[in-house]
Structure 1
Amino acid sequence: MKRRDYEGPGDLRTMQDLTRRLWSPESRWHIGDLAWSRFQHVGGEPEWPTSLWEHDGQVVAWAWAQRPGTLDLRLDPAYPELAEEILRWFDGAVEGLERDVTLLESETDLAEVLRRHGYRVQESGVFFTHMRRGLDALPEPKVPAGHTLRAVRGEQDAEARAAVHRAAFSLPGLPPSRVTGESYRQVMRAWPYRAELDWLVEAPDGTPVAFCLVWLDEEHRAALLEPVGTDPAHRRLGLASAATLAALHAARRLGARWAFVAPRGDDGHPMARKTYESLGFRGFARTMTFVR
């Protein structure tokens, strides 16, 4: 068994390969999660110690720390002994005194390892509900008069696409979104991004005001929604729902059979979850955060 540090986008693809190999409809991680999370911001690498574990030339685990003290990981269950090693690596990779690791509630073996290392379940606070729906009998998207629904055309749309993302996710009381045209171009160049799965709703003046990006795992015919949003000045018009349905229709044309999304499940931000429920998504698992 060999551990090595992350060296760049080629290693992200290797992490995605492991994620896809281990994927099931009950999985937390989708290949699109990794692409979006790694590339949505510019300049994050120094704050993201990341390691890969290889056996006979094949990656069997990855661990991605985010300073000051957050860990995400994916581990081939054929190598359970690596969980202990990953946590020891995490202890040395970050300086923060407080640590947190998030799992799906179904990852009971990893949860037991965390408990042995002094972690406990965070009983309150933020959690995410993992939801899915089949792509048969999809409703048709509808937008108000004067609005336009279209797919992103390519990198020429990156600045406008980033601007509507910032509008949607720069919320009162929270740090502003750091998505920029430069970082969105990174996203567009990442595998498996496809412009025909990145949808916008434009206001009558042509300004993008809502969006949905879908990532397609062709092998598993599984589509992930990440991210979805609406400019706050244009909410309650059904625009994000329309963008989502348009993107899901496009994914189905490309072979997708199931769609997945993971909105907030706690009562702090219930609207996204309710929107997805109205579109036919149903929860199948929730995250649990362990802290130490």
Structure 2
Amino acid sequence: MQELVQRTWSPRSRLHVGDVAWERALNAGRRGDTWRTAFWEDNGQVVAWGWAEPDHLSLVVDPEWAEVAGDVLGWFQEYAPDGAVSVLEAETHLVAALEKAGYRADDDAPYFTHHRIALSDLGTPVVPDGFTLRHVQPDEVQQRAAVHRAAWSDWGPSKVTDEDMAAVMSTWPYKPELDWIVEAPNGEFAATALIWDDKIHGIGLVEPVGCAPAYRRRGLAQAVNLAALHALREAGATHAMVCPRGDDAYPKARALYQSIGFRPGARSRLYVRR
């Protein structure tokens, strides 16, 4: 799955290798009975795949094999006739296949906006006295999982376990040097930013970022993002991307990334078939 994503990636692509790494590491084992995956190959090379979870489809299709998108949608419709599909508006070969198959864009649905930043001119990360910026160590799985749960439990308890985080940290292309945290004076992890580096294209994906509620409004999320971006630049990348919500129902994340210097580009669209 990652090979196809990386081979066909461009600024017009919805998914980055880091998207697949994060989602598969968290969900493939825990929900493998309901998250179906199918592949389409030509001479042993994957030219398309679909991942249904269970009534929403993510798909990647090599633009040179655009006609296969119809087959992927047909596979999905066999067990989710009223399902939904997310694509980037710039993925015109997928948009055309969706419209041909009877899907229509839901303009009222939440959406995500791809943001990019060049790493040539980054700000300096600053944290309050007593706080420390550093990357995660491989043996800090429990602390890393704990701060993720704290940061992502605003709307209900996070389901991410220590075992889930261990799976994330063992999935290519994870590197602890690009997984940054803010450590509080008491040793507790307060904020995190993980970046997945696609070395072929020189672009890293920021996914995910979080700050524990007890440590918010101190500039920690901005600082840990900047520290991770500096590390990404030192690793040889030239750009980074992040995909926050673009609609006004959830503007905080978008505002954070734009304050760092990320600028918006193409947006996602949800297509439904009724």
Shorter-normalised TM range: over 0.9
CA distance in 1, matches of 2:152, 2:81: 29
SS in 2 for 1:138: coil
**CA contact under 8 A between 2:63 and 2:93: conserved in structure 1?**
no
CA 19–188 in structure 1, closer or farther in 2 if over 3 Å, else same: same
Q: Which runs of 5+ in 1 are unaligned?
A: 1-14
CA distance in 1, matches of 2:12, 2:241: 10
CA distance in 2, matches of 1:25, 1:79: 19
Residue 289 of structure 1: how far off its partner (Å): 0.3
1:35 counterpart letter in structure 2: A
1:33-77 deviation per Cα after TM superposition (whole angstroms, max 9, x unaligned):
10001112451211210011110111111110101x100000011
Percentage of identical aligned residues: 49
1:264-286 deviation per Cα after TM superposition (whole angstroms, max 9, x unaligned):
11111101100100000001110
2:51 counterpart letter in structure 1: W
2:225 counterpart letter in structure 1: T
Identify the residue that residue 61 of structure 1 maps to in structure 2: 48
SS in 1 for 2:33: helix
Residue 114 of structure 1: how far off its partner (Å): 1.3
Identify the residue that residue 167 of structure 1 maps to in structure 2: 150
CA distance in 1, matches of 2:85, 2:161: 28
Residue 126 of structure 1: how far off its partner (Å): 0.9
Residue 97 of structure 1: how far off its partner (Å): 5.3
| Superposed counterparts of 1:1-292, under 5 Å | 15-41=1-27, 42-67=29-54, 69-92=55-78, 94=79, 96=80, 98-154=82-138, 156-172=139-155, 175-292=156-273
For normalisation by structure 1, the TM-score amounts to 0.90
Identify the residue that residue 3 of structure 1 maps to in structure 2: none
Larger CA deviation: 235-244 vs 111-120 = 111-120
Residue 116 of structure 1: how far off its partner (Å): 2.3
**CA contact under 8 A between 1:32 and 1:226: conserved in structure 2?**
yes
Identify the residue that residue 5 of structure 1 maps to in structure 2: none
The runs of at least 4 aligned residues of structure 1 exceeding 4 Å deviation read none
The CA RMSD over aligned residues, in Å, is: 1.2
Q: Report the count of equivalent residues.
A: 272
**CA contact under 8 A between 2:50 and 2:59: conserved in structure 1?**
yes
CA distance in 2, matches of 1:16, 1:190: 11
CA distance in 1, matches of 2:237, 2:218: 27
